[in-house]
Amino acid sequence: MNTLILATALVQGASAATATPAGDLVFEPAYFAEAAPVTALDMVRRVPGFVIDSGDAVRGFAGAAGNVLVDGVRPSTKNRTIDDVLTAIPAAQVLRIELIRTPRPGLDQQGAQLLVNVVRVAKESRSQAVTLSNYSYAGSALLPSLRGEMSRRNRKGGWEASFLLSLNQDESGDGKRITRLPDGTVFDRAKVAIDSPIRGAEARLAGDTGFAGGVIRGNLSFTHQDYRTHEVLDFLEGPLAGSMARTDDAIRTNSGEAGAEWSRSFASNLSAKLLVLATRKDVSTRSASEGPDGSSLYRADSIADERILRATLARAPGSGIAWEINGEVAYNSLDSQSAFEIDGVPVALPNSDVRIAEWRGDASAKLTVPLSPRLTAEATARGEYSSLGQTNRVTDFDYTTRFGFFKPKLLMRWDAGNRSQIRLRLEREVGQLDFTDFASSASLIDGTVNAGNLDLRPQTAWIGEAAAERRFGKDGVVTLTYRHHRIDNVLDLIPVEGLDAPGNIGRGHINALGAQVTWPLDPLGISGGRVSFSGEWRSSAVRDPVDGSRRPITALAPFTGEIHATLDRPSLRSSFAIDVYFGQELTYRRLAEWRQTSDEPYISLKWTYTASPRLTIEASAQNILGRKRERDRKVYDGTRADGRLLFEEERWYRSTTGLFLSLRRQL
């Protein structure tokens, strides 16, 4: 009876979400029909109160979990984002979308408080599609892209394949750079022109089928990206007036992945999973500058490899206590070589030729305990051990560091009424050392040179979090979240051999307040309209290693947020959207420099037209306000603590508006 009352309260017409007895929400294809979705990604983005999280870019598989499942299983890939995975699933192959708000034994939840499960149809289906799209910007040539997709499914499994060839452009535009002396007078003034073309290619293949009494899923992928940035300075005032300077950055990345996961259910609600995964990434960086005051050249090449073996055993009874045990072994390595020269003269960089290799083990045990019909607790005991070897091939220095950490986690969920939920989390998180921090790096576009640092420790933190969710109407949701981080070994920048380098600077903290709102506009007389907001406000503090002051953590934005408004008009076979991404302000404190970057909001308008059941047309105007991007610097002749201010620099440009047109044809 209670289930019937709850379902009746939530269901307002055939297209509304329905509730399960456990409090999860189920969205049938009819719920999304007015928006005419093309892929599973279009559907998931419409789930009220949910924001896609692709997980963290970390080594190993356990810590990289996102918050989207496909058929109850986490995608067995690290080289593809959640958006990529969902784009490859046609909307016609989606049976339903489940919003998991409570622990559900048997699902690969990875400790997420809120996640989506995309359930595909288990019947014969075929899909083939070709998408031709084009970006155009003021003053640039056409930038076309071609994407092809194919999938087949039946009751035993299926496969999907896709390829993409793309030309695009990152934010580019024109602006100014002004340098001022300490007394405020202008030293020089220059026009700035920035162009950032991108070329990309990718090919992917994934499938699943029955094997050894269970299901085996596999995936192969390859991606290539050529990302370039060109900056030209045309000096108008000052000692260099009438001359020009040019800086070019080029980053080429080739990456590949192969993985497979086998899962099987046994008697007594017991299930097992076995995962093997291998990835490789080659990165080549070239940065060169040339002007009337000299030339510089930076070169770097790196190869990163990862191998993962993971096993899971879980018991998910129909009621009572559920448990899960995981074990994982991973091997990671990075080979990095770099060189820097000024006017043809080599400049020595610390740790310019290094090899990093790590063996990592991770084990966890999780219990899910229903304390009452409305209250559930989930406790996880997790430990990790790593042995990290470092070799400096210039000095023949070899060093091995071993780390061991215990990482407990406690989650509590309380259904405070039929449409409200309280979620609590207490967890010890341990960050991973970025292998690139051990090697030297530079970007002449940014004007930075960083030394590598072999003496690093992982950042650790105790995190307490509380979230309150309230649902109203057909699909209205308000969620407020407060989170506190108490951090040890904050990773920031420290001086190493006279250069900036990544390093630990002591204890710090972060306080964050987040809000997510989905507001249907039907009560206001705007049928088919909806507005959603997601934002987070942050404050932080840490002790500065240069001047000893208490200041915010480097590159932590005080606010991040976005607004999305949609309007569906089935009678016009159209859907309209406006997307607003608020700008960010980031502050960096280097040894002899203070730097701040800030962006204005990025706004786009989109129109999606279903010309026929097989043809979808999408047109959009990107960055319609031509947002302003700024970089301010203060540079000293010594450290920020005891040096004299040499100059202040203000650099800004307005990025150009882009027009996008896409035609997707279902074959």
At residue 104, the pLDDT reads 66
Higher pLDDT, 648 or 452: 648
**Does some domain include residue 460?**
no
**Does some domain include residue 211?**
no
Nearest to 415, CA basis, from 1, 64, 6, 4 = 6
**Does some domain include residue 83?**
yes
Domain's final residue, options 98, 121, 144: 121
Instruction: Calculate mean pLDDT across residues 255-273.
Output: 89
Kindly provide the b/e burial profile for residues 82-108, where b requires at least 16 CB atoms within 10 angstroms of the residue's own CB: bebbbbbbbbbbbebbbbbbbbbbebb
Residue with tokens 């972060």, as numbered in its chain:
510
CA 38 to chain centre: 23
At residue 433, the pLDDT reads 80
DSSP string for residues in 573-626: TEEEEEEEE---EEEEEETTEEEEEEE--EEEEEEEEEEETTEEEEEEEESTT-
**CA distance linking residue 142 with residue 314, whole number of Å:** 53
At residue 18, the pLDDT reads 78
- Residue span of the structural domain in which 107 resides: 1-121
At residue 6, the pLDDT reads 30
Kindly provide the b/e burial profile for residues 504-515, where b requires at least 16 CB atoms within 10 angstroms of the residue's own CB: bbeebbbebebe
Check pLDDT > 60 for residue 171. Answer: yes
With a pLDDT cut of 70, the percent of the chain lying above it is 93
Residues 6+ apart with CB under 8 A from 166: 145, 146, 147, 198, 199, 200, 201
**Does some domain include residue 89?**
yes
Residues 6+ apart with CB under 8 A from 525: none
What token pair was written down for 610? 């279903």
What is the helix (H) or strand (E) element at residue 424, kind and residue range?
strand 420-430
Name the band, by pLDDT with cuts 50, 70 and 90, for residue 308: very high
Instruction: Calculate the average pLDDT of the chain.
Output: 88
**Does some domain include residue 126?**
no
Name the band, by pLDDT with cuts 50, 70 and 90, for residue 463: very high
35-62 confidence digits (pLDDT tens): 888 888 999 988 888 888 776 655 566 6
Length reported for the chain: 667
**Does some domain include residue 538?**
yes
What token pair was written down for 648? 């202040």
Task: Find the range with the poorest average confidence among 107-116, 377-386, 391-400, 561-570.
Answer: 107-116
Domain's final residue, options 121, 143, 164: 121
Check pLDDT > 50 for residue 333. Answer: yes
Kindly report the CATH number assigned to the domain that includes residue 37: 2.170.130.10
Higher pLDDT, 24 or 154: 154
Check pLDDT > 90 for residue 514. Answer: yes
Domain's final residue, options 121, 150, 181: 121
At residue 126, the pLDDT reads 87
At residue 110, the pLDDT reads 64
At residue 15, the pLDDT reads 58
Higher pLDDT, 108 or 258: 258
Instruction: Calculate mean pLDDT across residues 82-107.
Output: 81
Higher pLDDT, 425 or 25: 425
Check pLDDT > 50 for residue 8. Answer: no
DSSP string for residues in 635-646: EESS-TTTPPEE
196-233 confidence digits (pLDDT tens): 999 999 999 999 999 988 999 999 999 999 999 999 99
**Does some domain include residue 50?**
yes
Q: Give SS3 for 41.
A: helix
Q: Is 252 exposed, middle or buried (CB count within 10 Å of its CB: 0-12, 13-18, 19+)?
A: middle
Instruction: Calculate mean pLDDT across residues 137-158.
Output: 87
Higher pLDDT, 131 or 22: 131
Name the band, by pLDDT with cuts 50, 70 and 90, for residue 5: very low
Instruction: Calculate mean pLDDT across residues 524-541.
Output: 94
Task: Find the range with the poorest average confidence among 1-5, 503-507, 519-523.
Answer: 1-5
Check pLDDT > 60 for residue 1. Answer: no
DSSP 23: S
Name the band, by pLDDT with cuts 50, 70 and 90, for residue 9: very low
Instruction: Calculate mean pLDDT across residues 484-498.
Output: 89
Describe the strand order of the beta sheet including 448-450 as a list of residue ranges: 441-443, 448-450, 499-504, 491-496
How many separate domains does the chain show? 2
For residues 23 and 17, the answer to whether their CB atoms sit within 8 Å is no
Higher pLDDT, 267 or 608: 608
Check pLDDT > 60 for residue 10. Answer: no
Kindly provide the b/e burial profile for residues 353-390, where b requires at least 16 CB atoms within 10 angstroms of the residue's own CB: bbbbbbebebbbebebebeeeeebbbebebebebebeb
**CA distance linking residue 420 with residue 470, whole number of Å:** 5
At residue 445, the pLDDT reads 78
Name the band, by pLDDT with cuts 50, 70 and 90, for residue 114: confident
**Does some domain include residue 479?**
no
pTM (predicted TM-score): 0.87
Q: Is 548 exposed, middle or buried (CB count within 10 Å of its CB: 0-12, 13-18, 19+)?
A: exposed
Name the band, by pLDDT with cuts 50, 70 and 90, for residue 91: confident
Q: Give SS3 for 30.
A: helix
